[in-house]
Amino acid sequence: NAGVTQTPKFRILKIGQSMTLQCAQDMNHNYMYWYRQDPGMGLKLIYYSVGAGITDKGEVPNGYNVSRSTTEDFPLRLELAAPSQTSVYFCASSYSSGGGTEQFFGPGTRLTVL
């Protein structure tokens, strides 16, 4: 099993550009999550999904969108990139609710917006 994979690993965007961060898992997990981590800080939940076709906002959803058309994939979309979105983005998955079972994390995407 590859676990949770994320692409790209690094990306530099100009203000106003758009991009999609890809996340995939091959563990047949129902729950998937997107987090951002700013330097010296803990993670903040952006969006999560409890299954295909179902998504919900986390703590910091503004400026982002998600979709969950399959169990495996959970892409994160940035429509109009802003410098405040410079961060490291982590995708995670778990079999059931966020803390009920272990979360597995991808390696992260480091995004810089200039």
1 or 40: whose CB is closer to another protein? 40
# of chain residues touching another protein (CB under 8 A): 27
Cβ distance 105 to 90 under 8 Å?
yes
Distances (CA, A) of 80 to 17, 26, 32, 64: 5, 30, 24, 9
Q: Which is nearer to another protein, 63 or 107 (CB)?
A: 107
The 49-88 site mask, x for binding another protein (CB under 8 A), equals -------x-xx-----------------------------
The values of phi and psi at residue 84, to 5°, are: -65, -15
Q: Does 89 bind another protein (CB under 8 A)?
A: no
How far is 112 from 22, CA to CA, in rounded Å?
16
Q: Is 39 exposed, middle or buried (0-12, 13-18, 19+ CB in 10 A)?
A: exposed
Interface with another protein by CB under 8 A: which range of 14-22, 68-76, 79-87, 104-112? 104-112
By CB under 8 A, tell whether 42 contacts another protein.
Answer: yes
Identity (one letter) of the amino acid at 33? Y
Out of 19, 27, 45, 60, point to the residue binding another protein (CB under 8 A): 45
| Interface ranges with another protein (CB under 8 A) | 4, 33, 35, 40-45, 48, 56, 58-59, 90, 92, 97-108
